Amino acid sequence: MRLPGQSSRSMLPILSDLARVIMLALVAGGMFTFFAAGSLQLYQEARAVENLTFARVIPAPAEIVDAWHDHHDLLLEEHIPETLWETLAGLSMAVALGVSIAALMDFSRLLRWLIYPLLVVSQTIPIFAIAILLILIFGFGSGPKITVVVLFCFFPITLSTFSGLQTADPELLSLLRAMGASSRQIWFKARLPAAMPSFFAGLRIAATYSVVGAIFGEYVTAQRGLGVFLKRSYSSFRLDQAYLAILLTALLSMLLVLLVNLIERLALRWYYTTRRKSWRGPGIY
Amino acid sequence: MNQPSCLEVRGVSKTFVEEGRRVHALDNISFAARPGEFLTIIGPSGSGKSTLFNLITGLAQPDSGEIVLECGAVRRRVGRAGYMPQRDLLLPWRTVLNNVILGPELDGRSRREARQRARELLPLFGLDGFENAFPDTLSGGMRQRAALLRTFLTDRDVLLLDEPFGALDALTRRELQRWLLDVWQQFRKTILFITHDVEEAVYLADRVLVFSARPGRIVKELVIDLPRPRQSLSRLAPDLRRLEGDLLSALEMGNGS
Ligand SMILES: Nc1ncnc2c1ncn2[C@@H]1O[C@H](COP(=O)(O)OP(=O)(O)O)[C@@H](O)[C@H]1O
Ligand SMILES: [Mg+2]
């Protein structure tokens, strides 16, 4: 029988998380070096031959590193914070919106019938069109970009939270009613907690979309952000900078997903102590 | 003789209609429990025992007849009895301590005081040192004891226990039976206890109600006159066997008709 509250146990998952990130970094680093060395060679050979397009399309890794050296002040002080702010603000609002809509759909069958088609339609409209509209309406600030992030992110959160709310054990709900619980108490003490694992699954998907959403919004029009940096790079044919922006986007998305995983494991200790012997969690990274 | 009863069931019948088929679950059930009495209910599966509990807790309404709970007519019956269903149904996201204080919490009483009281009772319920454990890390016997503590802490006079030991191994079950009698004698609760185990029905009870196969009727009421506190099962063996014999023949009769 395990004794509760052994702190070494609860620290383990975070440590093993770290170990996994280090592993991943090593593997990624190895692959990167391999391909970097290969493409460096290719690049230099291609340089010798005039008019070989891919030499212009694929920058050498060293050039990407140079681009970072040239621009990291600007990136770290302006573009990344802006993108990060839009992402986090949008994701938080998507959580609030998604959970609220899920609660409404859970609350009444009529609302479910009304909301569900709207939800689906909202996902079939090209976000591109909406983004331009939003900017026309709200101007160039970060508001429209945050809205684009919300549009990208709220759908998976809504659906997963909604299905999570439906998973609560009906016998458990009966027990609570027999104990004299009000519907409100039943919702907050049983249905909502039961929905949490499912909610986090949706949040993880949303987190992967969110950075891309922000960059997409910035790309349409903005003054700051990785999306602007990317756009400017393209319009001045600075592909080294464009690749740098793409790499940074991927990195940000990955860090965000890792953050969500970490929060999930801290918030759902009960779920991971029982369902899985090790806290391997969602199985990614 | 004229003691008020804390639970009285008068002429209760219940029929379910499911997919056009009518299932007559309970037929004209009547009995009364004296305060502090330990009643066991035994009957074949499907004889409406759990249905009776659902009616008493107010989760469902009888088609006819009435149920009086808590020493006087109460209009709103929901939440008036402590109920422990067949499955322990502990909240997996709550620690043992936070699970067992669910009753007071739902009543809007102070959580701090409830925790205080729960902590004092943890040793008696064999849960000492496990207050911060999550239910899924506990053994079956411990989960059952946690569910029982939750039921006792609801502070209701009448406790309805639906096959609480049904899923446990024989050894654990015997241990918990003796322990339950101890706890019951300390708390002076009225207990209705469903079981499908003849020995358990006799060993625990002041009185056994025998249900027939569907539709459930009370085919026999057996008073268990064994002295309390009860000795261990092995010491009681001869008396137990005699009463068990009576019970078994009643059960067979109920099944045959
Ligand atoms: N909510 C319900 N709807 C339809 N039929 C039910 C319902 N609850 C119980 N029954 C039926 O009533 C009968 C008695 O069930 P139950 O009270 O669970 O029996 P027991 O607990 O004695 O095994 C069974 O045939 C069962 O299928
Ligand atoms: Mg039953």
With a pLDDT cut of 70, the percent of chain B lying above it is 93
Q: CA-to-CA distance for A194 and A270, rounded, in angstroms? A: 11
Shortest distance, CA B137 to any CA of chain A (angstroms)? 7
Task: Using the Cα atoms of residue A124, residue A126, residue A129 and residue A134 in order, give the sign of their dihedral.
Answer: positive
Q: Which residues of chain A does B57 touch, with a Cβ-Cβ cutoff of 8 Å?
A: 178
Question: What angle in degrees, to the nearest 10, is found between the helix axes of A192-220 and A143-165?
Answer: 160
Task: Give Cα separations from B61 to B70, B190, B256 (angstroms).
Answer: 17, 22, 29
Give me the CATH number covering residue B76. Answer: 3.40.50.300
Whether residue B230 sits in one domain with residue B131: no
Whether residue B57 sits in one domain with residue B171: yes
DSSP state of B35: T
Last residue of a domain, one of B155, B173, B207: B155
Q: Which residues of chain B does A169 touch, with a Cβ-Cβ cutoff of 8 Å?
A: 89
Local confidence pLDDT in tens for the 285 residues of chain A: 444 444 444 555 566 667 777 777 788 888 788 777 777 777 667 666 655 555 566 777 778 888 888 888 888 888 899 999 999 999 999 999 999 999 999 988 888 888 888 888 888 888 778 778 887 787 778 888 898 899 889 999 999 999 999 998 999 999 999 998 999 999 999 999 999 999 999 999 999 889 988 998 888 877 888 888 888 888 888 888 888 888 899 999 999 999 998 999 888 888 887 654 444 445 444
Whether residue B167 sits in one domain with residue B52: yes
Looking at CATH, the fold of the domain delimited by A67-270 is given as MetI-like fold (1.10.3720)
Q: Which residues of chain B does A179 touch, with a Cβ-Cβ cutoff of 8 Å?
A: 79, 83, 102-103, 106, 154
Structure tokens at B43: 């009957």
* Residue B154 forms contact with A (CB below 8 Å): yes
Under 8 Å between Cβ of B33 and B39:
yes
Whether residue B202 sits in one domain with residue B151: no
With a pLDDT cut of 90, the percent of chain B lying above it is 45
- Contact across the interface for A178 and B59, Cβ inside 8 Å: yes
Structure tokens at A118: 């709207």
Residues B154-165, mean pLDDT to the nearest whole number: 90
**pLDDT value at position A63?**
80
Shortest distance, CA A69 to any CA of chain B (angstroms)? 48
**Please, which residues have CB within 8 angstroms of residue B162's CB and are 6 or more apart in sequence?**
B49, B50, B53, B83, B84, B85, B86, B194
pLDDT of B77 higher than 70: no
Whether residue B106 sits in one domain with residue B61: no
Structure tokens at B221: 């009421």
For ligand 1, say whether the CB of B48 is within 6 Å of any of its atoms.
yes
Q: CA-to-CA distance for A273 and A14, rounded, in angstroms? A: 13
Task: Give Cα separations from B171 to A95, A237, B165 (angstroms).
Answer: 50, 79, 11
pLDDT of B78 higher than 80: no
Q: CA-to-CA distance for A228 and A219, rounded, in angstroms? A: 5
Q: CA-to-CA distance for B10 and B28, rounded, in angstroms? A: 8
Whether residue B164 sits in one domain with residue B122: no
Q: Which ligand is nearest to the CA of B216?
A: 1
Secondary structure element (H or E) that encloses residue A41, with its range: helix A7-48
Task: Give Cα separations from A15 to A25, A197, A261, A263 (angstroms).
Answer: 15, 22, 13, 14
**pLDDT value at position A1?**
41
Q: Residue B222's closest CA among B208, B235, B238, B232?
A: B208
* Cis before B215? omega within 30: yes
Whether residue B215 sits in one domain with residue B98: no
**pLDDT value at position A17?**
67
Q: Which ligand is nearest to the CA of B42?
A: 1
**pLDDT value at position B150?**
94
Under 8 Å between Cβ of B139 and B35:
no
pLDDT single digits (tens) B163-202 = 998 878 888 888 889 889 988 988 888 999 999 888 899 9
**pLDDT value at position A237?**
80
What are the sequence ranges of the domains in chain A?
Answer: 67-270
User: For ligand 1, what atom is nearest to the CA of residue B48?
Assistant: 17
Whole-complex ipTM: 0.87
Phi and psi torsions of B132, nearest 5°: -100, 10
Whether residue B234 sits in one domain with residue B195: yes
Under 8 Å between Cβ of B145 and B126:
yes
Burial of B133 per CB tally in 10 Å (0-12, 13-18, 19+): buried
Query: Terminal CA-to-CA distance of chain B, rounded, Å?
Result: 33
Structure tokens at B132: 């911060």
Phi and psi torsions of B13, nearest 5°: -125, 150
Structure tokens at A94: 């998507």
pLDDT single digits (tens) B111-130 = 999 999 999 989 888 899 99
Q: What's the number of domains chain B is made of?
A: 2
For ligand 1, say whether the CB of B51 is within 6 Å of any of its atoms.
yes
Q: Residue B248's closest CA among B192, B197, B182?
A: B197
Quickly tell me which residue has 């839009």 as its tokens. A86
Strand partners, B22: B17
Range 144-173 of A in CB contact (< 8 A) with B: 169, 171-172
Last residue of a domain, one of B155, B177, B207: B155
Per the document, the length of chain A is: 285
**pLDDT value at position A33?**
82
Whether residue B122 sits in one domain with residue B186: no
Whether residue B149 sits in one domain with residue B163: no
Q: CA-to-CA distance for A206 and A212, rounded, in angstroms? A: 10
Q: Hey, whose CA ends up nearest to atom 3 of ligand 1?
A: B16
pLDDT of B70 higher than 90: no
* Residue B12, SS3 per DSSP: strand
Per the document, the length of chain B is: 257
The per-residue DSSP string of A142-201 comes to SHHHHHHHHHHHHHHHHHHHHHHHTTS-HHHHHHHHHTT--HHHHIIIIIHHHHHHHHHH
Whether residue B97 sits in one domain with residue B46: no
CB pairs under 8 A between A and B: 77
| Domain that includes residue B130, residue range | 89-155
User: For ligand 1, what atom is nearest to the CA of residue B18?
Assistant: 4
User: For B91, which of A185, A190, A271 is closest by C-beta distance?
Assistant: A190
Whether residue B65 sits in one domain with residue B181: yes
Specify the pTM: 0.80
pLDDT single digits (tens) B239-257 = 778 788 888 888 887 776 5
Q: Picking from A156-165, B66-75, B92-101, B144-153, which range would have the lowest pLDDT averaged per residue?
A: B66-75
